[in-house]
């Protein structure tokens, strides 16, 4: 992991070595990031429940319906402000993040204030998975070898949720996720083949589960 301010190539902290080439690069969609990483919808639901509880409590106390609704409506600006702050952060995160897939590794550059870059050579990637959302964006988590340790908190939000014990770096909210997963699957399989993995053990595609990311597809045994 590298902290840096200068990029000789956008998204990369150094010039690519001879023989390495960029296959794809892109940023997370900010609206998908706001919804799925920052949970903007859950925040709005929370305030809606608070407003409903306020109305019910006032009505139980004998307050007129119109007055109860006016009191509850005071929470609307607070709810909108909270959602707006989260959406703004998602936009800044989108602007500061760039995922790069080469024929040898995955590079993740991210950070709102200070850019951080993490390099994930294919040799340490055990397998990958794909979750596609209804808007076409998707998440591609990478499970690393047991020997590799990464920090969940330093990776966030570019990490699979609820995997703090064994964090999995993740290309989050990627537009056209199925196409990106296919590129990554092909690259992982090609790299494994170069390392001498038998062709019968290679898989060039990444399994998709449209519900939850749980079906990991090994790209090399």
Helix (H, G, I), strand (E, B) or coil at 159: strand
Number of structural domains in the chain: 2
From the CB of residue 95, how many other CB atoms can be counted at a distance below 10 Å?
11
Residue 130 near residue 213 (C-beta atoms within 8 A) = yes
Q: The domain containing residue 209 runs over which residues?
A: 22-28+98-218
Residue 138 near residue 177 (C-beta atoms within 8 A) = yes
Q: Clarify whether residues 66 and 125 are in a common domain.
A: no
pLDDT in tens, 162-171: 888 889 999 9
Give the DSSP letter string of 171-206: EEEETTHHHHHHHHHHHHHHHHHHTT--GGGB--S-
Q: Clarify whether residues 104 and 207 are in a common domain.
A: yes
Residue 76 lies in a domain: yes
Q: Clarify whether residues 147 and 47 are in a common domain.
A: no
Write the CATH number for 211. 2.30.29
Q: Which residues contact 133 (CB under 8 A, 6 or more apart)?
A: 32, 36, 139, 173, 177
In the block, residue with structure tokens 């209804």: 134
Q: Clarify whether residues 133 and 196 are in a common domain.
A: yes
pLDDT exceeds cutoff 60 at 5: no
pTM for this model (two decimals)? 0.82
Residue 82 lies in a domain: yes
From the CB of residue 73, how many other CB atoms can be counted at a distance below 10 Å?
12
CA distance 58 to 50: 12
> What would the two tokens of residue 192 be?
């494994």
CA distance 15 to 63: 68
pLDDT exceeds cutoff 80 at 214: no
Can you give the pLDDT at residue 221?
43
Q: Clarify whether residues 50 and 69 are in a common domain.
A: yes
Q: Clarify whether residues 102 and 198 are in a common domain.
A: yes
Can you give the pLDDT at residue 136?
85
pLDDT in tens, 103-128: 999 999 998 878 889 999 998 998 89
Residue 133 lies in a domain: yes
Residue 158 lies in a domain: yes
Can you give the pLDDT at residue 211?
43
Out of 53-62, 127-136, 199-208, least confident range: 199-208
pLDDT exceeds cutoff 50 at 92: yes
Domain boundary among 68, 92, 116: 92
């Amino acid at each position: 992991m590298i902290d840096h301010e200068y990029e000789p190539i956008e998204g990369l902290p150094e010039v690519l070595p001879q023989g390495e080439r960029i296959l794809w690069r892109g940023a997370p969609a900010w609206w998908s990031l706001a919804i799925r990483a920052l949970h903007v919808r859950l925040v709005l639901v929370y305030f809606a429940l608070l407003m409903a509880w306020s109305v019910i409590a006032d009505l139980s106390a004998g307050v007129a319906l119109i007055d109860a609704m006016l009191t509850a409506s005071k929470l609307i600006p607070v709810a909108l402000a909270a959602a707006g702050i989260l959406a703004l952060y998602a936009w800044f995160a989108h602007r500061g993040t760039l995922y790069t897939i080469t024929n040898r590794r995955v590079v993740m550059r991210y950070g709102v204030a200070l850019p951080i870059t993490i390099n994930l050579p294919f040799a340490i990637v055990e397998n990958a998975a794909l979750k596609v959302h209804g808007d076409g964006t998707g998440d591609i988590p990478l499970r690393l070898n047991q020997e590799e340790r990464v920090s969940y908190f330093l990776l966030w939000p570019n990490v699979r949720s609820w995997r703090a014990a064994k964090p999995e770096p993740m290309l989050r909210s990627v537009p056209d996720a199925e196409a990106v997963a296919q590129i990554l699957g092909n690259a992982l399989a090609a790299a494994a083949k170069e390392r001498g993995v038998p062709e019968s053990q290679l898989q060039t595609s990444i399994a998709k589960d449209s519900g939850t990311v749980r079906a990991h597809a090994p790209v090399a045994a």
